[in-house]
Structure 1
């Protein structure tokens, strides 16, 4: 019997430890995939940075070569003049040839500097910025996926610990013996190992205590489980009455624990914190969807903004310390429906206020339009009066000019008549008439 008990305990222990392989979780697979993408993106960023460095080095070399040419050309010019002065035409010709080659080389350097080298640098900068932005987004998503995988890992650890604890408590009701104590010791060692692993993850991600307590409560609510009942059937051959008594004792313990749990938390429920928790939870889900859509269409600027909002809300959500009762209430469907109804009412109120504002704005626009039309009519009437006055003044000026022209013609006619007698009589009256003409025309101005 002792050997059978030990075999059953260890068999159950192996079954619990082998089920729910964490490496098969979708979140764990997704986390590994995103980590792989981050590594690839980091390698691409290093390569893009090397290309940019090479382009910058090429530009620097071209500029240095142009500076060298600029310094050498005056020296060659001086050598050419000196050789020509000495009538050393061979040396002068060589210097002239070197000057032409230097000028041609400078033009090639300038063309490459403003053309191919510049394009390579600009392309490298754009590529590096794109990869850096992509890397930032992928790192953020990888962190999120890693957190999700860590949460699932802690939930799995908490489930295993709760099941092992339940199995150990069930075994403690049987007759004590060395074999049974050895089996319980094995369970205790495994529980300690799982708890240490969970605490290590909790130190990085948080929420370990809440997750552990949550699954401990769930295991208690469902005790005795089918697995524990199987162990009980294999370990004992007691009659149905004994099993019934044990079930009643366990049931009473469950009720007492549940009552103690509710008494300890119901009086301290913070509904404001629950509302905020539900709001953050809902918005985080929407942000994740929007973030994935932005990544799909490669709108990385929008993705960066969404990721920043996600990190802020996620940090706030992690820092909220809700009790078990508050978490249970926040996850209930009735509470979520109430929050949705309140949100809908607030949105309807905002829409009504916006509609009223639009109506008032339309009325104000109509009044302003009417006033504008009145002002336009007044301005048109004023402009008409001014135009009439201007036309009258122009007509008066034309009449005065016509009168002056007639006077001049009369003077000229009289001058022609007296021209035969003497020239002085012709010229002096004309001068007098000119003075009369000027006196007549000037007042018109």
Structure 2
């Protein structure tokens, strides 16, 4: 994190990224002194409600973060920033998004946790749009012009006021990761599951070290003391109760419970009861430390694609074991009326043998288990996510795969990613194809 004093003293000359959070109520004009080099500007966590009309003087600016400020309108000056591709205004007070505020090169827009009721037609006139984060607003509809966004791959519309999913949304050729939980359109299956989950009294748990932290909560190693039995090591996830870019953490908890048992899922033991602060949480199976994340989160540059370590390589047997496990668990979720919404390498834990677990249900949504065109389309969106994952695995196989075997798997990848959504195979068919590979 940089300081205003450093900026004013000229000590930051030549930097490409500026991070400034000092309770600012006005945009520091000294930022313009960095116009020749500044590409990423992070002003999150201040008290700003406006930006200068001549922001376009920052001619190299590609990324702007202004989350956790006091904006009530997305500033129109952003639309004049010709190089700007990523805009983040999460957790402000925004009610209005002028069409003029959308940069021509817009690729990634984050408006999570505001009070937006409508979006401008111009949003569908940004052909490079790839990621759109709108969870936690007051949207009742989406602009039909978004049907023109053929590069749109990820959209988060959870926790809004949508009563139906537009038909055109489910035909977008590149749409892959969709989250819509917490809208009136969703089924009530999640609430039923929440009420049926076993309750585990907080007094029976003893927290130990923190294992990790995500947008929705913090995970701890803990000991679970059952009556007249030795303590059992478990993982405890305590939810923050805040709106994340995917949606409400409580919907994540509901989906984890509804998912039930599967060898490639982390087992849920029960819900936490009687927490002294009323905090919501789950008690889950403790994962062996030999498990690691398959990939890292997408970067600002990769946008919607995971980042893999340079030395990440697999044998064909391990890669196929991963692919079979994920296809199996995705099919299991679909049969239970759940789309994961975030089927990515960074949400997969694996060990050296290729045993894998699909985690992070923050973007999960519920649908009817009946075989309708909408249900089939929702499931086939997730098939594209699997196709991308399969391609990433294939690119990292260094031994044990014949030319014929590679051709078979590459053909499956292409079928999963084809632009005609309903022509993609379901996970039952995919699992059979992988068994024969």
TM-score range relative to shorter protein: under 0.3
* TM-score, length-scaled by structure 2: 0.18
* TM-score, length-scaled by structure 1: 0.18
Bigger RCO of structures 1 and 2 (CA < 8 A, at least 6 apart): 1
Bigger helix share: 1
Bigger strand share: 2
Pair member with larger Rg: 1
